[in-house]
A and B are shown apart, each in its own frame.
Chain A
C-alpha cells in the first residue's frame, strides 16, 4: 500500500505550479480557499496526478476532496484498489 506521508509529499510537489502566492503547503491546505483552484484547475491537476501514478481518478471523488489530506486519502484508496 502506498505510504500516506509519501502521497502528501508528492501531492504538495504537484501542487507547486498552482501555488501562485507561495503559501506553505501541508495536508490541511484547502485547494479552493487557500490555493484558489477552480474546477478547471482541479481537472488539470487531476490529469497530472493520473499520469504520474498511471491510474484513472473518477471525478466522482471530487465532492469528497477539500484539502490535500482528503486528496491523499482518496488517492491511497484508489491505489490500493488497483493493487
Chain B
C-alpha cells in the first residue's frame, strides 16, 4: 500500500517552513502555549459577561465541538488516518458522562468536583474504545479504514436501542448537572457557568494537544503521514504511532461528546448520528487539515451555519412546512457543497488560505523593505 498521505496542501512549501516558529522559540513552547491559553481564557471570561445567555450557550457548544474537531485534526490532518466514526466516539463519551452523573445522583453525593470526575471517566472510556478501534485501524488504509469507521458510526447509535435497558433506547438518558456553585452569587446565569465549564475543559485539552504536536510524538505523527516507509526506515514504529494518534484523537472526541451531553443535559442516539460524524469531518476539512487553528474555524462553522440558515429562513416568509424542511436541510446542503468545493479548489481550507495570504503579505513587505 502506498503511504496514506493526508490531503495536506501541496502548496505548503516544506515541512521545515511550517516548523520554523518552533525553531525560533526553542525551549519556550510550553510557556508560549500557556500564554495563548491564558489570553484565550481571559477573553472567554470577558465575552461571557458581555453577551446574552443564548450566545454563551452557543459559545459553549463551539467549545464542545472544538474538542472533537481538534481530535479529528490530529488523526486525519496530522496522522493521515481518516475516521468517519468520531460521532460514535462522541456518543461513547456522552453516554459515559450520563451514566456517571446518574450514578452520582442516585448515590446522593453532591459537589462540583463530581462533574470533573465524570468527564475524566468519559475520556478514559473513550480512550479504551478508541484503542480497540485504533488497533484495527492501524492495519487498514484509505477506503478500507473509511469503511470500517463508517460502520462504527452507523452501528454504535443502533447499539443504544439494542441495549435499551441501560441506555433507554431512542429516548436516551438525561444528564443531571448541578447548578453553578453558590460562591459565584445567587443570580449567576446558568449559561455563563456552562461556558466556563466547557471553555476550561476545552482550553486544557487544546493546551495538551498543542504541546503533544510540538513534541517528538507530533513529529512522528507527521512523519508517518507523509511517508510510512521513510518513517519506518527512520526507526519509527508505524503501527504504534497510528494507534497512539487514534487514542489521542478518541480522547478529544470523548471529551467533546461528554461536554455536549452536559450542555444539552441529555444523551440520545439521535444527537450522534452518522451525519454528526460527517459534519466533524467536514469541519476539519473546511477549517484546514493539519492545523489545530483550522479545528477552531470548523467548530465555529458547525454552530454558526445552522444559526445563519435559521435566520435566513425566518427572513423569508415561507409556509411552516417548507420552512421546516429548509431549516433542517439547507445547512447540510451548504456543508456538502462547501466540502466538495474546498476539497477540489482549496485543499488547505480556511486556515490554509489565511496562512497563504499571510505569507504573501509578508513577502511583499520584505520586498518593499529591501
Please indicate whether A and B come from the same complex rather than being unrelated chains: no
